[in-house]
Structures are given as C-alpha cells and as structure tokens.
Amino acid sequence: MTNRSHRLAILRQEEIEELWGQPSFDSRDRDLYFDLTPQELAVVLQRRNAVGIHFVLQLGYFHARRMFFDPSGESAREDIEHIVGRYFPERRDLPVPAPPSRPTMQSIHDQILDLLGYRRWTGVRPALTTRLSELATRSTQPNYLLREALKFVDRERVVRPPYSALQDLVGEVMNTERDRLTTSLHTALRPPVRKLLNGLLAADGTIYSIGVLKQDLRDFSYTALREEVARRQAFAPLHAFAQGFLKQVNISPESSKYYASMVMFYTVFKLRRMDPLVAQLYLLCFAFHRYRQINDHLVEAFVTRVELYTRQARAASEQAMLETMEKSVQGLHGAGDVLELFVDPNIEDKMRFAAVKDKAYQLLPQDRFAPVADYLRNVAFDKTAHQWKAFGELSPAIKRNLRHLFAELDFAGTQTNESLLTAVTFFQRLLRESRSPRQVPRKDFPTQFISKRIRRYVFVTGAQGKRELDVDRYEFALYRELCDAIAAGSLFIRDSNENRGLEDDLIDADRWAKEKGAILSSLDAPILEKPIVETLAALREGLEAKYARVNQRIQNKHNAHFQLRGKKSTRWKLEYPKDESPGMGGFYAQLPMIGISELLKFVAAQTGFRQHFTHVLERFAKQPLDAPHLDAAIVAFGTNMGLLKMAEVADMKYSGLSTTARNFIRQETLRAANDAIANATAKLSAFKLFNIQQRLHSSSDGQRFETQVDTYKARHSPKYFGLKKGISVVTAVANHIPIAGTVIGAHEHESHYVFDLLFNNTSEVRPEQHSTDTHGTNQVNFFTLDTFGYRFAPRYRDIRSKADRMLVGFRTPREYGDALIKPFRKVKEALIVAEWPNIQRIMASLGQKHVTQATIVRKLSSYELQNKTKEALWEMDAIIRSIYILDYIDDVELRQCVQRALNRGEAYHRLRRVVAYVNNGKFRVTTEAQQKIWNDCARLIANAVIYYNTALLSTLYENMLAAGNAEAIARLKKVSPVAWQNVNLFGVFDFSDSEAEVDLSAIASIVGNPQLWGVVEANLEGELFEE
C-alpha cells in the first residue's frame, strides 16, 4: 500500500469535506433526509429507545453521504432533537442520548445496509481496482480516477470508501499503469529506436536535440519551413514505432497527450535524471503528437503558398489586361487614320497595296495592328491564359517553396481521385529521387487529372508547332488540384490531426456497428434515437404551419414591422424598432475605485477560483500555491505585461513568478478557474435580471488582436492589421459572462467553432439559445446545435435575400401559390432517410468528442466536399434554418433579443480590450499555447470584474427586493455588470497575503438611490447600459 506521506493530493479540502465530511443539515435537509419509508419506519417502531434514535440518525447520514459517521458537534445534536421530536415525542424531555456501544453501532450499520441493499467496500476492492486499471489506459489524471471510483461504488451500491483508501488505491493504479507501460516499452524497444530516444537528450555542443525539436513553427517562410521539415524527418522513425506501440498497449489519446506534455514541462536536465524508461515514454508520446502536428503545419503552409501564387497570377493577369486595354485605346487614333486611307482621294486605286501598307505603318506601328484589331472586334481578353503565363514566370519561386513540402508529405485518397493520386505519386517519386521533371519524357506524365477547362493552358505549342506538355504549368496544376482535393476531403494525410479523412474522424465503424444503441442513448440527443420518418413528419407539420401563419399575419397586417415596397411589389423589408427605454448612466462613476489586486483577492475569497490551480505534477506535488505570485502572474499575462515587467512594478522576484506560472498556470487550470468564477456569478441574485425573455441567451463573436511576434496562427488581414499579422479570439458570452473562448487564426471561419465552444463549455452556465452574426453561420450549425439542445439564432442583416435563397419546404414552390413568403425549393426527404444512419454516426462522433468538433464541422461545411451524406446533412440543416428564418421574419421580439445578446458580446470585447492594455493590446508570445494562456488570463480578469460588479448589483437588488421597490428594480435591470470605471487596472500593484477589505453594503449605500443615477446616452466610456 502507498505510504501515507506520499499520498496523492487529489481534492481540495472543501471538496473532501463536501464528499466525506459529516453532514451539516438545515431544516429543509432534515425534512428530506430523515423522512422514513414505511419499511424504515417499521424498523424504528421496533426500537423505541436511544438505539432507534441513532438508527434514524445514521440512516439519514447514509442517505446523504453513502457512509456512516460517529456523530459529534452542535449539528448532530440538532439532528437528534429533530428526530426525537418527529419520531420519539415521548422522549422530548429526556437528555440527548449518547451514542451506543461500538458493537451496537456496528449492528445498526449492518441493518441499514441490509435494508437498503448496500455492501461494504472491502468486498469490491478487487473489482474496483480492475475497473480503475481499465480507465487508467484512458487517463491517469488522479482526479478523473477518483471520480470514476465514486461513480463505481454508487452504481454498485457500495459504502463510500474513506478518502485515504481511495488515495491509496488511485496511487496504486497509477503506479501499476506506469509500470505496465514502461515494462511494455522495455520489451518493445529495439536498439535503433532506443538510440534515437537517447539521442534526443544528448547535447550537440551546448544545445540538446529535444530543445531544438520542441520549437514551434513561427511562420511560412522558406527557412522556417525547412526547419519544420527537418523536425518531421527527425520524428518520422519514432512516430512509426510509436504508432504501433501506443495501439498495442492501448493508450488513449488523452493519456498520450498528457505524457507528451511532460516533455514541455520538464527541462532536459530533469528528463535525463528520471527513470530512463519513463523519460523514453514521455519522449515517444511527444514525438508521436509532434509529428502529426508538423504534418498539419506543412499542409497548411502548402495550401497557403498555393493560394498566394494563385492570387499573384490573378493580379498579374489583371495588370496585363489593363495594360492591353490602355495600349489598345492609345492605338485607336492611329487606327482611325488608317481607315481614312481607304477614302483618301489622294490615293489612286491603282496604287500597289504594299505602298498602302507602308503608309498605314507610318500611322500605326505594325506591332500594334493585331491588338487594336482584336479590340475593335471586341475579342475577349483571355485572363486565364495570362494567369498560366504568370504561373510559368513564378515557377522558380514555386519550385523553391513548394517542392520540399510536397515531396515530404504522404497523401492518401478515395477512389474518386485515383487519377490525381497517381499523378501525385509519380511527381513525388521524381522529386524524392532528385530527378529533374524536365528530363522525363512528356508522355510519361499522368495527365488524366487535368480538366478540359485548363488543358489548353497546360499544353502549349512547342518549337515544332505541336501541342506539348509544359512541365512548369503541369507542376502548378498538380499542386492546385491537390489543394482542391484536400479541401474536399478526397485526398488527406492519415498521420495528422486536422487533415485526416472524414472517416478517420468518426467513431470506428466496427464499434459503431456493435454499440450504436448504447452510444446514441448516452448522448442526450432524442432526435438521433427517433425514427427519421417520424422526425420528418413532425418537421413537415411545424414548417408548413409556420408558412401559413407568417403569410396570414402579413396579409392581415398583424406583422407591423414587415414593410412592402409598393402596393403590388413582392419586395419587402423588416423594420427593427429600438427599445425606447433610456439607459441608466452615472452608476459606476459614483463608486470608489478598487485595484485589480484587491479585486482578485475579493473574488478569490468568494469563489475559490485559486484552488483550481493545481500543480502540473499532481503526484507528490510538495510546492504550495503562492497566492500573491499566482495573482501577479495572471495579471501579467492577462494585461500583456509579461512576468519580467510585473516583477519590476510589483517588487517581486522574477524567479518566483516564473516558477508559479510554470507549475500552476495551464489551459486546464485556467479553464477550471474561469468556470469557478462564472458558476459563482450565476448563483448571485442579480444574475437572473440579465436573462433575455426569461431565457439564458448567449452569443459568440471573434475579436482581432495584432501579434508582435510571428506564430503559426498569426496571419495577414489588411482589414484589421494593415500590413501586420494577428489572430482572432472567439468568445462565447452568456448573460454577460464569458463562459468559453479559443484562439484561432485570422483566416479561419468563426462558424466552425460555434458548436465547439458551446458543447465543450465546462461551466454550469448552460445557454438555451445562441446567437452570432453572419460570420457564425454555415451549412451545418442549425442542425448540429438543434440536435444537442441549443437553438441557433443568428442575426441576418439582409433577411430578404436569405429568405429568397435559403427557405425550403416539403412541397414544390408552385404549390404555395401566390404566397409572399414561400420556399425556394423542395426538401429532399428521400435523401435524408437514406443517409440518416450516416448522419447519426457523424452526430454521435461530435457528441462523444472523438475529435475536436471544429475539425468535423469545418469538413462538413466545406462546399468542396461532395458526397450524399453531406448533402443530406445540409438538407436537415436547411429545414431547421427555414423554421428559424420564418420566426425571424414573424417575431420582432426575437430580432431584438438576438441584437441584445450580440451587444453583450461587443461589451465584453470592449472590456477585454481594456484589460489587455499593455503593448497596445498586441500579443508578444511565441507559441500558440502561450496565446491561449494569455487570453484565458485576460478572460479570468474580465470574469473577476464582472463577478465583482454583479455582486454589488445583487446587494442592491436584495435591498430593493426587501423594500418592495419595483420601480428601482426595473431601473437596476438596465445596468450592465460589464464596466470598469470603478476598477483600477493600472498603476502600482500590491499583491500580498492580506485579506481583501471590500464592504459591498457600504458601497451599495453610495448608489442606493436610483434617482441619482441620471439618464444619459448608453455606451459611455468605461461602462455599458443595456438598451
């Protein structure tokens, strides 16, 4: 058994007390837990003495905790008094009975277990150990294993084991799993692989190999990509071994990612000092995941470069067209003079034509005749021909920047792209053999993939006047077709995360066939379990009824905000009336300022968010959390200040800040801390005032931030960054709370992350309806969100064009007669029914988090992907979207709610921008992981500000509620908690262990009279008031 001094610190003290502490009941709890069933009451009636009283007491405690206690304290005395008064009234005047003897208490416990059908845990310890050992292959996180152990004993109706026993058991299982893996690795390792792993920790001069290989791709420059290719080549043999080994030992993706993260956490010095097999396991997992990440990087770089050269060729073609037109126009005057030669009376009819030509060439140079003649004949300028000419001119750059990427990647594909894959294999073989394509006979080149549309540009007239293949143009045609196939999903990279085939992203086909029913029942998605014919029948009835209602209300002029343009016109528009209620201004301006360090102390005391910052090495972690250093590091990252500058301004040691940040601040701990604040905010009394139409309505939108240092995600976007690069931060905001966020490239589509943010939201704030602007819409989000219980409610600016092009119905358009609002086309019901099993599998894969949801959504919403399943999925989405569009047209309150939800997202963006004020808000970190950490720190600070303001509003609300002041409450509802006039984010920081001195009641008294708030224009600097 694990030594007590080395027990894992799995749970916080508060969590231990909540799960294993003696219950502390209030009056409602006593009514609930001491309410006896007839069978339990029958036992009590047989024991009308102290034993009966303690039987009821232990029975109530067991119902609450699934374990027994030695009753003590004031709470237990009050529990006994309640039991006596309820079941033993004849003993009210007697002293509180002392606990019975140990043998008697043991008898009570046995009787309760028999009565409830429970057993002691020692008898199931072997079974529990086996179950945890199985789960350890998925994850060796102690918290996960402990929670699963508690689920097991509850499910098996077993007395809850002591916390110390589960600590020992989890530690034992973790050690066993580690021993299993290292023993398997020792057996499987061959000398060449062992040599490669050891070589990663060997020094080359002053640099360790693994230190170089851990570096992230900075940008898509030639040098950076050559280095990335070199890293791929270094990891390739290790990945090949790891692929088989990890499958053989049945390590889950989550566990292998955790082991891989240890390479990033540990220094080379510490890796060299630990057990060699453990270090080799970490390195092997790191090589496996890094190799796949590199493949994604190279594919992204390849596609981006091809798009760049395509844009350059298009621009060159446009410029050539402009120059041709300019020269042609300039030659028109000369052409007019040439035409006048035919009517010039001074030219005799018998003059030789050669002489006439000489005169004509004097008026218009000979080389200008053909272009001017083409212009006069209105011959179209062949822009495509000039684009392919430009590709030829760009050939040196194309070869230099694309060949080494193309030759490195291993492509696979479907049968539909067999001809393209043949050409890819052929050209890769030439490059890998260092053979010049120009030296290969033209007839050997596979050309079946070249479409008729571009064939005449790839084959050019040669020296002998015959059409022959232009190798340079062929090469780029191959690259462009390859990019199109990657976008369509018909060609892919198996050993990658983002660019695998769609089939590889889904639940394994064999598992799906065997466990389909169980998987669907676990998803809490009723639509996937119902027969699709029934679902379509219900959708048909609902959609057709909406068409009738919407048109009837328009005809009866009940939809007052629907405006026709002209009496007989079919053109229409929607009006968006504004809420005429004034915003409440001057509220936060009256409040005393609170420093950010003091605010974090207050919020930490109220929400306990610090306790979620656990040490990265949960096993035997001895370093206690330093709260001042933690708060300072969070502010340093969240404000873009950085640790070095924070150490200066806060008079702290950089080493202490760095160690705390390194050990405690990670994406998972930041997510848990943000959730803790969000959950606490949602429990405040004022939170329900933020509901929109009694509903929790969220929104998401992207916010752009410039990056000072090049990273993989940083991209050019002239609209937002000018000539610089940046990233986009997409945040989901519910009732003002930023519940989730992620960092994406400025080039990525926000709509791919809508479902990801909602479904992976780990807070207790669960939105019912979600809005985005047009950037959040695609061809699958309506159905995907509807499947998992969310109503998708985007804002449409040009709703009429959306209705004209997107509405569908279960009848043909002509069957709707002269209805003003009618479908554009009929739904393909038969296709949906035929493809429903495949749609179920796709949705189940999303629900089981088999891969990142954004990856699947991106592929499913791609127009390039062509298959029946995607088409059927789009049909289901079109039905749900049509229902929403009709509601959007018919319900002005829905449109106002959507706008309010989006306004709240914009308000958060303003606060987020103010929080990250240092360095003009520019990210200056070097990796994608650091960007996510800095963003989540900024979100945590914003969450803390919102909690503080909501707590103040709650104090006011409770005072007004007690006074019955309905008018004041109505005015309070107008005040948004997203404000910062009362928070000092700048200046000197004082991070100390002292408690926060915040008196909300005293602060509330300053602004207790709402008549003093004033009525001013909304959206003042530093605060936002709801319209």
Could you tell me where the beta strands, DSSP code E, fall in 470-589? 491-492, 562-564, 572-574
Would you state the pLDDT for residue 778? 92
Q: 863 and 954, same structural domain?
A: no
- What residues make up the domain containing 84? 4-118
pLDDT at 3: 42
Banded model confidence at residue 371, pLDDT cuts 50, 70, 90:
confident
Average pLDDT value for residue range 985-1002: 84
d(CA 816, CA 811) in angstroms, rounded, equals 8
**508 within some domain:** no
Point out the least confidently predicted range of 208-212, 272-276, 478-482: 208-212
Q: State the Cα–Cα distance between residues 626 and 724, nearest whole angstrom.
A: 38
Residue with tokens 């943000």: 674
Strand partners, 203: 208
- In this predicted model, what pLDDT tens digit does every residue of 195-208 receive, in sequence order? 999 888 886 644 45
Of residues 455 and 624, the one with the higher pLDDT is 455
Which structure tokens are listed for 703? Answer: 């916010």
CB neighbour class for 973 (10 Å; exposed up to 12, middle 13-18, buried from 19): middle
Do 786 and 821 belong to one domain? yes
Average pLDDT for 158-169: 93
Q: What does the alpha-carbon distance between residue 858 and residue 845 come to, in Å, rounded to a whole number? A: 14
Say whether both 439 and 474 belong to one domain. yes
Domain count, the chain: 5
Q: Which of 535, 488, 538, 540 is nearest to 840 (CA)?
A: 535
Whole-angstrom distance, CA of residue 566 vs CA of residue 569: 5
Total Cβ atoms within 10 A of residue 705: 25
Least Cα distance to 1013 among 981, 979, 968, 982 occurs for: 968
- How confident is the model over 566-573, as a mean pLDDT? 75
For the chain, the farthest-separated pair of C-alpha atoms sits apart, in whole angstroms, at: 146
Residues 699 and 646 in one domain: no
For position 1018, what pLDDT does the model report? 39
At 519, the amino acid letter reads: I
Q: Is residue 858 part of a domain?
A: yes
Asked if residue 612 lies in contact with residue 673, where contact means CB atoms within 8 angstroms, the answer is yes
CA 220 to chain centre: 24
Rounded Cα gap, residues 157 and 175, in angstroms:
27
pLDDT in tens, 475-490: 999 999 999 999 888 8
Q: How far apart are CA 937 and CA 633, in angstroms?
A: 9
Residue 203 is predicted with a pLDDT of 67
For 201, the token pair is 């920790």
Residue 425: how many other CB atoms lie within 10 Å? 11
pLDDT of residue 195: 92
Asked if residue 797 lies in contact with residue 777, where contact means CB atoms within 8 angstroms, the answer is: no
Domain check: are 849 and 960 in the same one? Answer: no
What is the rounded CA–CA span in Å between residue 844 and residue 838?
10
Q: Can you give the pLDDT at residue 786? A: 96
Q: Which of 466, 485, 500 is the C-terminal boundary of a domain? A: 500
Q: Where are the alpha helices (DSSP H) in 612-759?
A: 627-638, 643-649, 654-664, 667-682, 718-721, 754-759
1009 and 891 housed in the same domain:
no
| Lookup: tokens for 859 | 């592929």
Sign of CA dihedral 302, 303, 306, 311: negative
* CA 424 distance to own-chain centroid: 34
Q: Which of 459-468, 569-578, 844-853, 932-941 has the largest mean confidence?
A: 932-941
Residue 545 resides in a domain? no
**Rounded to an integer, what distance in angstroms lies between the CA atom of residue 526 and that of residue 520?**
8
N residues, the chain: 1027
Residue-wise pLDDT tens digits, 219-250: 899 999 999 999 999 999 999 999 999 999 98
Residue 83 has pLDDT above 60, yes or no: yes
Among 154, 69, 66, 152, smallest CA distance to 113 is for 66
Each residue of 760-777: b (16+ CB within 10 Å) or e? Answer: bbebebebebbbbbebbb
Quick check: 513 and 433 in contact, CB under 8 A? no
Say what the pLDDT of residue 733 is. Answer: 97
Pairwise CA distance, residues 569 & 495, whole Å: 57
CA-nearest of 364, 307, 313, 362 to 335 is 364
Tens of pLDDT, residues 497-550:
889 888 888 888 998 999 999 999 988 899 999 999 999 999 999 999 999 999
Task: Check whether 450 has a pLDDT greater than 80.
Answer: yes
Looking at per-residue pLDDT, the higher value among 750 and 3 belongs to 750
**pLDDT value for 377:** 64
Flag whether 151 is in a domain. yes
Which residue is it, tokens 């590091």?
633
Q: For all residues of the chain together, what is the average pLDDT?
A: 88
The yes-or-no verdict on residue 1 having pLDDT over 50 is: no
Query: What is the predicted pLDDT for the residue at 261?
Result: 87
CA distances from 963 to 690, 950, 967, 968, 974 (A): 21, 20, 11, 10, 19
Tell me the pLDDT band of 4, cut-offs 50, 70 and 90. Answer: very low
pLDDT tops 70 at residue 619: no
Q: Comparing 928 with 957, which gets the higher pLDDT?
A: 957
pLDDT (0 to 100) of residue 622? 54
d(CA 328, CA 581): 63
pLDDT at position 59 over 50: yes
Instruction: Check pLDDT > 70 for residue 941.
Output: yes
Q: What is the mean pLDDT of residues 792-812?
A: 93
- Lowest-confidence pick of 255-269, 337-351, 462-476: 337-351
Lowest mean pLDDT among 442-446, 455-459, 851-855: 851-855
Do the Cβ atoms of 713 and 727 come closer than 8 Å?
yes
Q: Which of 891, 921, 951 is the last residue of a domain?
A: 921
Q: Are 713 and 927 in contact (CB under 8 A)?
A: no
Does residue 781 or residue 50 have the better pLDDT?
781
Where is the domain boundary, 474, 500, 526?
500
Q: Domain check: are 701 and 598 in the same one?
A: no
Q: Does 1017 map to a domain?
A: yes
Neighbour tally for 910: CB within 10 Å: 18
Q: With contact defined as beta carbons under 8 Å apart, do 482 and 424 qualify?
A: yes
| CB atoms inside a 10 Å sphere around CB 159 | 21
Please tell me the distance from the alpha carbon of residue 37 to that of residue 39, in angstroms, as a whole number.
5
Same domain (yes/no): 97, 131: no
Residues 78 and 137 in one domain: no
Contact 609, 676 (CB under 8 A): yes
Confidence of residue 582 (pLDDT cuts 50, 70, 90): very low
- How many degrees, rounded to 5, is the angle at CA 700 between CA 697 and CA 705? 150
Distances (CA, A) of 261 to 288, 298, 734: 12, 22, 32
Q: What pLDDT sits at residue 272?
A: 87
Classify residue 158 by its DSSP letter. Answer: B
**In a domain? residue 366:** no
Average pLDDT over residues 307-336: 80
Mean pLDDT of 300-321: 91
pLDDT at 912 over 90: yes
Cα 784 versus chain centre, distance: 15
> Around 350, how many Cα atoms within 13 Å sit in the side-chain half-sphere?
0
What is the C-alpha R_g of the chain? Answer: 35
Half-sphere exposure of 240 (CA within 13 A, CB side): 9
- pLDDT (0 to 100) of residue 208: 52
Summarize pLDDT for 952-976 with one digit per residue, the tens.
999 999 999 998 989 889 888 889 9
Residues 6 or more apart whose Cβ sits within 8 Å of residue 934: 637, 638, 640, 916, 923, 925
Say how far apart CA 302 and CA 602 lie, in whole Å: 50
Range scoring the smallest mean pLDDT among 535-549, 574-588, 815-829: 574-588
Which H/E stretch holds residue 153?
Answer: helix 142-155
Whether residues 1016 and 908 share a domain: the answer is: no
Could you tell me if residue 359 is inside a domain? no
Instruction: Work out the percent of the chain whose per-residue pLDDT is above 70.
Output: 93
With bands split at pLDDT 50, 70 and 90, how would you rate the model's confidence at 338?
confident
For residues 836 and 697, membership in a common domain is answered with yes
Q: Is the pLDDT of residue 212 over 60?
A: yes
Interatomic CA distance for residues 954 and 681, integer angstroms: 10
Residues 6+ apart with CB under 8 A from 326: none
3-state DSSP assignment of residue 556: coil
Are 815 and 720 found together in one domain?
yes
For residue 540, which amino acid is it? Answer: R
pTM for the predicted model, two decimal places: 0.81
pLDDT of residue 1021: 37
Q: Say how far apart CA 442 and CA 942 lie, in whole Å.
A: 63
Structure-token pair, residue 607: 């929400």
CA distances from 956 to 685, 724, 970 (A): 10, 46, 12
- 255: in domain: no
φ, ψ (nearest 5 deg) of residue 708: -85, -25
CA neighbor of 737 nearest in space, from 695, 779, 766: 766
- Give yes or no for a contact between 83 and 53, defined as CB atoms under 8 angstroms apart: yes
Q: Tokens at residue 333, please?
A: 């005057």
Q: Which residue has the tokens 């959507």?
A: 898
